[in-house]
């Protein structure tokens, strides 16, 4: 019985190791955007060290919970092969939520996301734009809050 338990633990470790790049992608470069930019109110830009820029916009303001909303990234000065946006709760794990955006021309990548509801009301989120351009992987984390009373 102990041998079966050890084999199950080893199996879980191997599976976790194999899928960890999917759940926690590695970035060659992490770029920090302006922390004062509020995705709930505006499009938020970030300048990349290579000279290119990206802009992230969320289609609904304020961002709704449990309802789909548009997500758009505009890339200028670089040619991404793929762009995805990973939505993660800052203080609470809200599950895997990483829509891959589709290229719609002129550096625009569009998609749709849905955020789960948080029972505490207000929730801090991080929307990390994940860019694959050439052999480089770039991560740009943007923060915003849902459920704020203004």
Across 4-22, average pLDDT: 56
Asked whether the whole model's pTM tops 0.85, one would answer no
Structural domains in the chain, sorted by start: 26-146 (2.60.40.10)
Q: Is 123 within 8 Å of 146 (Cβ atoms)?
A: yes
The sheet that has 100-105: what strands, in order across it?
A: 29-30, 136-146, 123-133, 82-89, 100-105, 108-113, 69-76, 53-58, 44-47
Q: Residue 25 pLDDT more than 70?
A: no
Per residue in 60-97, pLDDT (tens digit) is 888 888 889 999 999 999 889 999 999 998 888 888 88
> Among 62-66, 105-109, 115-119, which stretch is predicted with the lowest mean pLDDT?
115-119
* 21 class by beta-carbon count within 10 Å (0-12 exposed, 13-18 middle, 19+ buried): exposed
Higher pLDDT, 22 or 15: 15
Task: State residue 84's pLDDT score.
Answer: 96
């Amino acid at each position: 019985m102990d041998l079966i338990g050890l084999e199950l633990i080893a199996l879980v470790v191997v599976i976790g190791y194999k899928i960890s790049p999917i759940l926690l992608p590695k970035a060659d470069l992490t770029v920090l955007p302006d922390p004062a930019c509020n995705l709930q109110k505006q499009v938020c830009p970030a300048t990349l060290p290579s000279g290119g820029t990206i802009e992230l916009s969320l289609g609904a303001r304020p961002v709704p919970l449990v309802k789909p909303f548009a997500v758009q990234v505009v890339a200028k000065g670089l040619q991404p092969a793929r762009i995805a946006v990973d939505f993660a709760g800052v203080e609470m794990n809200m599950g895997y939520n990483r829509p891959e955006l589709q290229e719609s021309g002129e550096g625009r990548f569009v998609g749709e996301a849905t955020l789960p509801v948080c029972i505490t009301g207000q929730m801090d989120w991080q929307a990390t734009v994940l860019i694959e351009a050439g052999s480089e992987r770039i991560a740009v984390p943007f923060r915003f809050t849902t459920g704020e009373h203004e």
